Amino acid sequence: MSRCENCIIRQFNSLRAMSKDELKKVSDTKVSKTYKKGDAIFEEGERLDGVFCVRDGVSKLSKLSSNGKDQIIKLATKGEILGQRSVIAEESANLSAVAIKDVDLCFIPKESILHTLNTNPNFAVEVLRHMANDLREADDVIVNMSQKTVKQRIAEAFIYLKNEFGEDENGFLKLSLSREDMSNVVGTATESTIRIISEFKKKGMIETSGKQVRIKDLVKLQNVVSGL
């Protein structure tokens, strides 16, 4: 298992602002963990004793709405730090994190994070930058929900999956969400998602093979997002 001071993953997150000595201390206290697809990394309302640095895999960060439906806020991938805001604010987790592909991560006890936050101004600034980015992403989700139709949001989600995770050798999206997860990303009923995906297939925009999805006409999907 690679040590924090030698790990390239930290270049993607606030840990890059730590000194070599600070990284060594973190490395001495961290614990490597693996979560299988469907496993909960942490639950909304849970008190976290540390943060999770994602080395590989994908997890969904979601919040339970008043009607009992999950709203997926974002998909967390390699390099993300999970639970940072809750640990620093000393509050319960505002979101749940569940693996949608097998996830390898390092659990870093909060003492290492809080001590460095108080003694390293560069690290504190880097943490603030990442939190500001999370807020910007949350703002974008709110705007999308209020200003775009469900059809636009589903088309946008397919394009996002293609751009963010790529395609396999057969042209299928490497990360295929279940119909329920897709519904929870765009904020609609599963039945509506199934109906719109069927419509996209009939219009030749996508094709499916079981749970796998292949984008056949990217331009048409982009036109849907643009409202054309």
Q: Give me the CATH number covering residue 32.
A: 2.60.120.10
Within 39-161, strands assigned E span 40-42, 50-56, 59-64, 70-76, 81-82, 96-99, 103-109
Q: Are residues 115 and 153 in the same domain?
A: no
| Same domain, residue pair 9 and 113 | yes
Place of tokens 């690679």: 2
Residue 38 lies in a domain: yes
Q: What is the pLDDT of residues 140-183, one digit of tens each?
A: 877 777 788 999 999 999 999 999 899 999 999 999 899 999 99
Q: Mean per-residue pLDDT for 81-94?
A: 91
Residue 165, in any domain of the structure: yes
Q: What average pLDDT score do residues 70-75 get?
A: 89
**How high is the pLDDT of residue 142?**
78
> Quick one: 160 and 74 in the same domain?
no
pLDDT band with cut points at 50, 70 and 90 for residue 137: confident
Range 199-202, long-range pairs (CB < 8 A, 24+ positions): 199/151, 200/154, 200/155, 200/158
Is 117 contained in some domain? yes
The verdict on 12 and 43 lying in the same domain is yes
Domain boundary among 125, 140, 168: 125
Instruction: Specify whether 117 is located in the same domain as 161.
Output: no
Among residues 61, 74, 37, the alpha carbon closest in space to that of 161 is found at 74
Contact 126/103 with Cβ under 8 angstroms?
no
Nearest to 179 by CA among 196, 200, 201, 203: 196
Q: What is the mean pLDDT of the chain?
A: 89
Name the CA radius of gyration of the chain, rounded.
Answer: 19
**pLDDT of the residue at 1:** 56
Total domains present in the chain: 2
The kind and range of the H/E element at 32 are: strand 31-35
Based on the domain organization, do 103 and 187 belong to the same domain?
no
Calculate what percentage of the chain has a pLDDT beyond 70: 96
CATH of the domain at 199: 1.10.10.10
32 and 108 belong to one structural domain? yes
Q: What pLDDT is recorded for position 208?
A: 92
- In the predicted model, what is the mean pLDDT of residues 33-40? 95
Q: Does residue 138 sit within a domain?
A: no
> Predicted confidence band at 3 (pLDDT cuts at 50, 70, 90)?
confident
Q: pTM of the prediction?
A: 0.85
Q: Provide CB contacts within 8 A for 143, sequence distance 6+.
A: none
Placement of tokens 């569940």 in the chain: 98
Answer yes or no: is 133 within a domain: no
Q: Does residue 140 sit within a domain?
A: no
Average pLDDT over residues 44-58: 94
Q: Is residue 216 part of a domain?
A: yes
**pLDDT classification of 27: cutoffs 50, 70, 90:** confident
List the end-to-end C-alpha distance of the chain, in Å, as a whole number: 50
- The residues pairing with 56 across neighbouring beta strands, listed in sequence order, are 104
Can you give the residue range of the structural domain that contains 34? 4-125
Residues 148 and 140 sit within 8 Å (Cβ to Cβ): no
116 and 156, same structural domain?
no
What pLDDT sits at residue 25? 87
State mean pLDDT over 86-106: 93
Residue 53 lies in a domain: yes
| Residue 199 binned pLDDT confidence (cut-offs 50, 70, 90) | very high
- Predicted local confidence at residue 23, as pLDDT: 86
The more confident residue out of 35 and 64 is 35
Q: What is the largest CA-CA distance in the chain?
A: 59
**DSSP for residue 30:** -
